[in-house]
Amino acid sequence: MHDILRIDPVTRIEGHLGIEVKVKDGKVVDAWSSGTLFRGIENILIGRDPADAPVFTQRSCGVCTYSHLIGSLRAVESAIGVTIPPNARIIRNLLHGAQLIADHIVHFYHLHALDWVDVISAISADVNKTAALADSVSNWEKGGVKFYTQVKKRLKTFVDSGQLGPLNNAYWGHPAYKLPPEANLMAAAHYIEALRVQTRAAKMLSIFGGKAPHPDAPVVGGLTCIRDLTPDRIAEFKFMWKDIQDFVENVYMPDLLAVASFYKDWGAIGGTTNFLTWGDFPQTDKEPESFFMPRGIIMNRNLKNVKMSDPSKVLEHVEHSWYKKGKPKHPAEGETLPEAGEYDRGKKYTWLKAPRYNGEPCEVGPLARVLVAYAKGHKEIKEAVDGTLKTLDVPVDALFSTLGRTAARAIETVVIGRQMGGWINELLANIKNGDDKIYQSWKMPEGTVKGAGLNDVARGALGHWIEIEKGKIKNYQYVVPSTWNLGPRCSKGKLGPVEQALIGTPVQDVEKPIEVLRTIHSFDPCLACAVHVVDYDKNKSFKARVC
């Protein structure tokens, strides 16, 4: 006997996601990932001015808008052959860092934590024990009995009102929850505090980006925020960075370790096999050699044989996607030819293509970046990873899991956040020395030129490819992190990373498949809205809503 569980939609930044899994003997034995929203921005761009591409592509998403902006800028700049000034590179790194930190804080607390934290349980917590627990894991200046008493009172009022808002319709009381009430109260308090902290990152984006979301100061050739390059504005940015970094190091990371200590069994659940990064945060004009987060490819979990990833080895398959049938193509030669059809998991079942590296599916994102950096001996990453493994008392192999994926996101938030302090000081020193250049003029080449913008954003490896002919866009394609992670089977039948990761996931209650959501959410697809479950053996259908 088996159960078929349909989770649709699982909303995410690139659109809407549907997940279907087959459960047998309490474990997932097969899975299908379906992207259910078609945008087609690539087609909209054809015939437009190349400078329009960053403006359009960043509107692929209202959450990580800077990610597509910088990827598109790099693609256009690569094609026309312009090198941006050092100050522009530094500021772009700072904007990218602010975006990444904001995304990771929101993901852990507001999109993923409720898979592990039972906030209803928190109202039965002993506030004295909660305060003692918080003091034992964190040096955060806020807290104490009074603080947690107020939070508990607010939560109880919220629960008693019967209107839980964003906390409604979750699986409270599910046996898969393991945290004691005191840990749940501590995490719930920090969930609320994180709402304030993440707004600081948005303000940081607006200082040098012009506005948030959809920054408009970064342009082809550099930036236009020359009037904001003053000691006062840089100091304002630095003040906000310090506030966020304090939260990251003294709340986010300790919370991750505290919660993970109760779920160490998830260090053997939800893993994939191959990991790809394009790398990012250039320290000089030499790329990818100067990337702070290095470029690389790990195959078959072999950390002793990390190679430089080669974008020429990427092909996109459409065998199981709602596009006109054709041979796998490199994104630079790719097409976006939609051909809508019915959902058929044996044939076509998604709008997402299936990118493959040298024929293999690859996970992208924080775990891939941390693994590549760790394997290459990246000093800061290695220290953070080894410290985390030691604290949790788990082996390196635990990184290849849902637990490892969630921990990697916190680890890189700490490390990249610390690195931002150096970039701020570098920028300030340049300005004080009279170097305020942030833009390089350029001229559109005649004839046909091609370019690629490869970078690694919060959710993973992102690639933009452009072909320009007579000053207009002839072709444009981009492969986003969610396509890598959430794509379907390829023409050879190989499962996508999320499909692969779900195999073996335990499910205690098919009507409340919280374990499936844990692994899906660990890839940061944003938010699950509804779960549809069909029991084919019992011929029974039911629907359960989740937050």
Q: Is the pLDDT of residue 124 over 50?
A: yes
Those residues with Cβ within 8 angstroms of residue 484's Cβ, 6 or more apart along the chain or in another chain: 276, 355, 361, 362, 363, 364, 460, 461, 497
Q: Quote the CA–CA distance of 516 and 18 in Å, as a whole number.
A: 12
User: In terms of DSSP H, where are the helices of 138-230?
Assistant: 144-160, 181-209
Query: In the predicted model, is pLDDT for residue 276 greater than 50?
Result: yes
For helices 231-247 and 402-432, give the axis angle rounded to 10 degrees.
160
Q: How far is C-alpha 438 from the geometric centre of its chain's CA atoms?
A: 28
From 533, 505, 535, select the one nearest 520 (Cα to Cα): 505
SS3 state at 346: coil
What is the C-alpha to C-alpha distance for residues 78 and 150, in angstroms, rounded to an integer?
54
Q: What's the distance, CA 6 to chain centroid?
A: 23
Cβ atoms of 392 and 257 within 8 Å: the answer is yes
Hey, what domains does the chain have and what are their CATH numbers?
3-114+194-545 (1.10.645.10)
Q: Is the pLDDT of residue 325 over 80?
A: yes
Residue whose pair of structure tokens reads 């592509």 in the numeric block: 57
Q: Are 505 and 516 in contact (CB under 8 A)?
A: yes
Distance CA 102, CA 212 (A): 12
Average pLDDT, the chain: 90
What b/e string do you get for 228-248 counting C-beta neighbours within 10 Å, with b at 16 or more? bbeeeebeebbebbeebbbbb
CA dist 353 → 31, 36, 474, 482, 522 (Å): 16, 12, 21, 10, 21
Beta carbons of 193 and 250 less than 8 angstroms apart: no
Residue position matching structure tokens 């790990």: 298
Amino acid at 10: V
- Residue 357 pairs in a beta bridge with 314, 360
Maximum average pLDDT range among 65-74, 147-156, 320-329, 380-389: 380-389
* Structure tokens that stand for 341 in this block: 């059809």
Please say whether the beta carbons of 371 and 331 come within 8 A.
no
The pLDDT value given to residue 9 = 58
Its pTM surpasses 0.85? yes
Give catalytic residues, as residue numbers. 14, 61, 64, 68, 459, 482, 526, 529
Who's near 512: CB < 8 A, 6+ residues apart? 171, 174, 544
Of 87, 102, 51, the closest CA to residue 222 belongs to 87
Quick: pLDDT tens for 232-269: 999 999 999 999 999 999 999 999 999 999 999 999 99
Burial (CB < 10 A; 0-12, 13-18, 19+), residue 528, is: buried
pLDDT in tens, 43-65: 889 999 999 999 998 888 777 77
d(CA 417, CA 240): 12
Give residue 538's pLDDT band: very low, low, confident or very high (50, 70, 90): very low
Instruction: Estimate to the nearest angstrom the gap between the alpha carbon of 254 and the chain centroid.
Output: 20
**pLDDT tens column, 463-485:** 999 999 999 999 999 998 989 99
Where does 161-294 have alpha helices with state H? 181-209, 231-247, 253-260
